[in-house]
């Protein structure tokens, strides 16, 4: 019953024509301004639901343009595919064609995933998609079946984790071109490796966000930790919903990405009868049918609420899987003894046992840290719907010094952690470098240009860290050195034997039928703890 989904942004054709579509329901005039001929703007026509369109001839890849709103504001395209000069510059036309050679690829099932999370900028020295391609052999030999790219949408400045993106349809201009990303996906598929992309649909970054000039993309009805919430349920929300749905479909269809990891969906507030996650799922299922490839939706959230990953017929949103942070917290607290911040809710081996059995640790009991009873038993879910990890970008990077487990644990403890993960019933995810015990930190880095914003950011980090009682000064995320320190060293013999152990564990996991059983009713039995040893 919902309105037709409408493609947005520039749609160039082979014959040099290009139709521009932009959503600006409350504007009275919108024009396309080609950077090469700014004195001759192209008036757009307003169609249903506030979508403006115009078709222009002789448009070639690389041509730069702006939209002009109500004859006043000149702004880049909210659905820009390319921001060659960064977030404040013009948008540019991208040629969507690519010679794919992965036609036999079918996508990946969650149960088959051995995930590897990486940050494009910090994974290799070059910090590009080409850099990732050069490491695919390493990953394939390790046994990885899916890489997960931290967000690649255009963000302000040179370096950023990616969660400050403001052009969800544009690839960050320093990581490579659209063609480079397609080359990466194509190559990965040829190595038998799926590509999952981290996308941020719960907020926009604090710098270069011009969306509010176009339409009510944000609402003050809900208060987020990091500012205005996205308007998924107020007046004009259909265009906002379409914007993110089109974004998901672009990555999954045009770029042949195998799945999306949706950042912090607990910060997506939607009182609509059809929740945006359910709507997105239904559109992705239609795409799956059309392209005959499996496409995954993986949610990150902090609610211990199985509704997100439950079938639509059971009132769920039908997503495929979710990250399960509590497995990490239970393991981390048990293995390091940390008891500050949110680790105060974890510690005894019983918590780890609980996560191995129930995926969540908190399924209704009182949480000291949250000061409330929390969570629900994830009945009617499979273990293959839960992505577990010993480390990830957040759990390393949101430590004061970005320190990895390899700098605080000895080799045997690292192996214990690795084995707990790889033998767990959940789908395992490694964080780049974990496989060989990388010692470089993964720090929080930014390169914003707004001075006030930078000050707020540092203050925010200080407040966030206060509960942990960590010792030391909060590093300045703006310093170039902080980014450089966070790059992988690729000293793959850093912890002797560790890489070989990971390879062995992954191979073992793939071979053992018991580890291919993800049924909640019988995959895990007889967990017991004796003399501080967990048996399972």
Q: At its nearest, how many Å lie between its own copies and the CB of residue 177?
A: 36
Site for its own copies (CB under 8 A): which residue of 57, 315, 337, 513?
315
Nearer to its own copies among residue 155 and residue 301 (C-beta): 301
Residue 459 a catalytic site member = no
Q: Which residues pair with 400 in a beta bridge?
A: none
Nearer to its own copies, 412 or 521 (CB): 521
Backbone phi and psi for residue 149, each to the nearest 5 degrees, phi listed first: -85, 130
279 catalytic? Reply is: no
- List C-alpha distances in Å: 240 to 123, 129, 211, 532: 33, 29, 10, 51
* Sites for its own copies among residues 24-83 (CB under 8 A): 25, 49
Backbone CA torsion sign across 146, 150, 151, 154 = negative
Size of the site for its own copies (CB under 8 A): 43
363 is a site residue for its own copies (CB under 8 A): yes
Other CB atoms closer than 10 Å to residue 50's CB: what's the count?
Answer: 18
Instruction: Fill in the per-residue mask, 171 to 210: x = in contact with its own copies (CB under 8 A), - = not in contact.
Output: ----------------------------------------
Catalytic position from the list 77, 263, 338, 345: 263
Please choose, out of 181-189, 216-224, 426-434, 494-502, the segment that lies near its own copies by the rule CB under 8 A.
Answer: 216-224
Residue 292: helix, strand or coil by DSSP? coil
Instruction: Give min distance, CB of 429 to its own copies, in A.
Output: 23
Beta strands in 300-446 (DSSP E): 321-323, 366-367, 372-373, 386-389, 427-431
**Rounded distance between C-alpha atoms, residue 267 and residue 232, angstroms:** 11
What are the CA-CA distances from residue 532 to residues 350, 359, 496, 528 (Å)?
10, 21, 27, 10
Minimum Å gap between C-beta 376 and its own copies is 3
Mark the segment that binds its own copies (CB under 8 A) among 75-83, 299-307, 479-487, 500-508: 299-307
Nearest partner of 345 among 359, 358, 356, 334, judged by Cα: 334
Residue 305 in contact with its own copies, rule: CB under 8 A: yes
- Selected from 220, 410, 455, 493, the binder of its own copies by CB under 8 A is 220
Q: Is 227 in the site for its own copies (CB under 8 A)?
A: no
Stretch of 91-99, 219-227, 282-290, 426-434 contacting its own copies, by CB under 8 A? 219-227
DSSP string, 236-265: THHHHHHHHHHHHHIIIIIT---EEEETTG
- Does the protein bind its own copies through residue 364 (CB under 8 A)? yes
**Residue 223 in the binding site for its own copies (CB under 8 A):** yes
Question: What is the three-class DSSP state of 473?
Answer: coil
Check binding of 222 to its own copies (CB under 8 A). Answer: yes
Give the Cα separation of 371 and 357 in Å (integer): 24
Q: Binder to its own copies among 110, 121, 127, 316 (CB under 8 A)?
A: 316
372 near its own copies, rule: CB under 8 A: yes
Q: Is 212 helix (H, G, I), strand (E, B) or coil?
A: helix
Assess 374 for contact with its own copies (CB under 8 A).
yes
- Choosing from 168, 208, 375, 437, the residue that interacts with its own copies (CB under 8 A) is 375
Least distance CB 364 / its own copies (angstroms): 2
Residues 333, 318 contacting (CB under 8 angstroms): no
Number of Cβ atoms within 10 Å of the Cβ of 368: 9
Minimum gap (Å) between residue 224 Cβ and its own copies:
9
Q: Rounded CA gap, 62 and 295, in Å?
A: 30
Q: Could you tell me the CA-to-CA distances from 506 to 89, 145, 208, 383, 427 in Å, in that order?
A: 45, 10, 42, 17, 11
Token pair belonging to 317: 């949103």
Candidates 148, 233, 300, 394; catalytic one = 300
In the shown chain, the binding pattern of residues 269 to 288 toward its own copies, with x for contact by CB under 8 A and - for none, equals x-xxxx--------------
Which residues contact its own copies by CB under 8 A?
1-3, 25, 49, 220-223, 233-238, 266, 269, 271-274, 303-307, 310, 313-316, 363-366, 370-377
Catalogue the active-site residues: 263, 300
């Amino acid at each position: 019953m919902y309105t037709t989904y409408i493609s947005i942004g520039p749609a160039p054709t082979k014959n040099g024509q290009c139709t521009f579509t932009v959503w600006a329901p409350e504007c009275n005039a919108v024009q396309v301004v080609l950077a090469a001929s700014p004195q001759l703007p192209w008036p757009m026509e307003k169609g249903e639901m506030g979508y403006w369109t115009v078709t222009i001839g002789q448009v070639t890849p690389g041509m730069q343009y702006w939209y002009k709103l109500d004859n006043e504001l000149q702004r880049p395209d909210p659905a820009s595919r390319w921001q060659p000069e960064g977030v404040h510059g013009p948008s540019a036309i991208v040629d969507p064609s690519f010679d794919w050679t992965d036609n036999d690829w079918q996508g990946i099932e969650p149960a088959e995933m051995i995930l590897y999370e990486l940050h494009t900028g910090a994974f290799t020295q070059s910090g590009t998609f080409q850099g990732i391609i050069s490491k695919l052999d390493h990953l394939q030999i390790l046994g990885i079946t899916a890489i997960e790219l931290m967000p690649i949408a255009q963000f302000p400045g040179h370096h950023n984790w990616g969660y400050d993106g403001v052009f969800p349809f544009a690839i960050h201009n320093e990581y490579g071109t659209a063609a480079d990303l397609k080359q990466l996906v194509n190559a990965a598929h040829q190595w038998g490796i799926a590509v999952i992309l981290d996308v941020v649909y719960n907020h926009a970054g604090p710098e270069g966000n011009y969306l509010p000039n176009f339409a009510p993309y944000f609402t003050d009805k809900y208060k987020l930790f990091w500012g205005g919430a996205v308007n998924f349920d107020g007046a004009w929300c259909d265009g906002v919903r379409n914007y993110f749905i089109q974004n998901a479909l672009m990555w999954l269809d045009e770029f042949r990405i195998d799945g999306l990891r949706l950042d912090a969906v607990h910060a997506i507030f939607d009182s609509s009868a059809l929740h945006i996650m359910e709507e997105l799922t239904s559109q992705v299922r239609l795409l799956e049918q059309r392209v005959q490839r499996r496409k995954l939706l993986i949610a990150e959230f902090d609610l211990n609420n199985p509704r997100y990953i439950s079938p639509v017929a059971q009132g769920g949103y039908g997503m495929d899987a979710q990250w399960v942070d509590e497995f990490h917290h239970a393991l981390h607290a048990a293995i390091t003894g940390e008891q500050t911040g949110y680790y105060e809710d974890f510690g005894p081996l019983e918590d780890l046992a609980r996560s191995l059995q129930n995926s969540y640790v908190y399924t209704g009991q009182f949480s000291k840290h949250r000061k409330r009873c929390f969570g629900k038993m994830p009945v009617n879910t499979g273990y293959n719907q839960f992505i577990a990890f010993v480390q990830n970008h957040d759990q390393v990077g949101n430590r004061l010094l970005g320190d990895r487990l390899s700098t605080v644990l000895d080799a045997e403890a690292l192996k214990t952690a690795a084995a707990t993960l790889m033998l767990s019933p959940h789908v395992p995810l490694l964080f780049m470098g974990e496989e060989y015990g990388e010692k470089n930190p993964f720090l929080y880095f930014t390169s914003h240009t707004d001075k006030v914003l930078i000050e707020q950011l540092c203050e925010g980090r200080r407040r966030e860290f206060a509960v942990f009682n960590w010792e030391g000064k909060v590093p300045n995320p703006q310093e170039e050195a902080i980014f450089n320190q966070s790059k992988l060293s690729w000293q793959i013999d850093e912890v002797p034997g560790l890489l070989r152990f990971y390879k062995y564990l992954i191979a073992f996991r793939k071979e053992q039928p018991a580890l291919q059983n993800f049924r909640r009713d019988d995959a895990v039995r007889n967990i017991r703890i004796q003399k501080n040893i967990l048996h399972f």
